[in-house]
Amino acid sequence: MNRIFALAAMFLLVGSSTGLAQHTQHARTAPHSGFWLNGGLGVGVTDEDVAGDNTGPAFYIRMGGTPSDKVLLGGEVIGFSRSVGDTDVSLGNATFSVLYYPNSPGRFFVKGGVGWASAIVSTEIGSGTFTSDDQGFGLTFGGGYDVRIGHNLYLTPNVDVLVQSFEEFADSNVFLFTLGIGFH
């Protein structure tokens, strides 16, 4: 677990140092306004205590509107999958999310979301596949850093935590480290 937090800290520091090196570009950061869209890929790690590898590919896509220069509101779909032997596990959240930029205009943001969690488990048994799924309550927390690469185009390293509660499946937490591209 300490490796996860060390990786998260390193991930945000790399994004922050890139922004500090481009201080003059920061002064030209445009205020947030209107519609925004961001999506990315990366890696996820679960806190499940199972044999095998607890890492796998991760993704997110989020979009919404801008009520103020410091606040972005929208929807987000964020997920993760991994394989253990003949079993594939996919975990994801669909949430209403708020992104908050403490500095205006800023690049660093924190975010939180509330909504639905989904889990799908598929296991190959003989020549067939057995699939079970469960839906529940999902929370998403995270942060990121927008690095301006164009007029309204940004490269965004993100660190996210998905908290999931299910009726039938075991509750889970997923840590995601992604790199996205977006505009706003």
Domains of the chain: 2-183 (2.40.160.20)
Whole-number pLDDT of residue 169: 86
Among the residue ranges 4-18, 36-50, 69-83, 135-149, the one predicted with the least confidence is 4-18
Sorting pLDDT into bands at 50, 70 and 90, what band is 154? Answer: very high
Q: How far apart are CA 90 and CA 68, in angstroms?
A: 35
Give mean pLDDT, residues 47-67: 85
Predicted local confidence at residue 2, as pLDDT: 46
- Beta strands per DSSP E along 146-171: 147-148, 153-166
CB atoms under 10 Å from CB of 21, counted, come to 11
Q: From its phi and psi, is residue 85 left (phi > 0), alpha (psi between -120 and 50) or beta? A: left
Residue 179 has pLDDT above 90, yes or no: yes
- The mean-pLDDT minimum among 4-8, 86-90, 91-95, 120-124 falls in 4-8
- Tell me the pLDDT tens digit for each residue of 94-142: 999 999 999 866 789 999 999 999 999 999 888 888 999 999 999 999 9
| Prior bond of 105 cis (ω within 30°) | yes
Tell me how far the alpha carbon of residue 171 is from its chain's centroid.
18
Backbone angles phi, psi at 41, to 5 degrees: -130, 160
Specify the pTM: 0.79
Confidence grade of residue 51 (pLDDT, cut at 50, 70, 90) = low
